[in-house]
């Protein structure tokens, strides 16, 4: 698991998209704001956000775009 990245005053999730999901995700790196004030909160949120990305990509691979959209909204 990668550590959250501080840019200015905002913590971000920065992760490379797994090769497995390259066919359903055009970005090679995910940058997503964690809306967290502190590092410990950012670490907790980053795990959940990344899990929702994974679930969304899995749904897209399985052809369930509706489920994927829901997971991506949850990640954001």
Average pLDDT, the chain: 87
Q: Dihedral of CA 72/65/17/2: which sign? A: positive
pLDDT at 36: 87
Region of residue 8 (phi > 0: left; psi between -120 and 50: alpha; otherwise: beta): left
CA distance 38 to 54: 24
Task: Read off the pLDDT of residues 38-67 as tens digits, 9 standing for 90 and up.
Answer: 999 999 999 999 999 998 899 888 887 666
Question: DSSP secondary structure string, 7-23?
Answer: ETTEEEEEEEPPGGGTT
Of 23-27, 29-33, 47-51, 66-70, which gets the smallest average pLDDT? 66-70
Q: State the pLDDT at residue 68.
A: 61
Predicted structure pTM score: 0.80
Domain boundaries, the chain: 5-75
């Amino acid at each position: 698991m990668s550590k959250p990245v501080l840019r200015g005053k905002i913590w971000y999730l920065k992760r490379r998209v797994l090769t497995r999901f390259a066919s359903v995700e055009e970005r090679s790196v995910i940058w997503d704001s964690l809306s967290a004030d502190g590092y410990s909160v950012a670490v907790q949120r980053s795990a959940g956000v990344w899990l929702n990305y994974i679930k969304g990509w899995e749904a897209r691979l399985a052809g369930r775009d509706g489920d994927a959209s829901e997971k991506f909204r949850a990640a954001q």
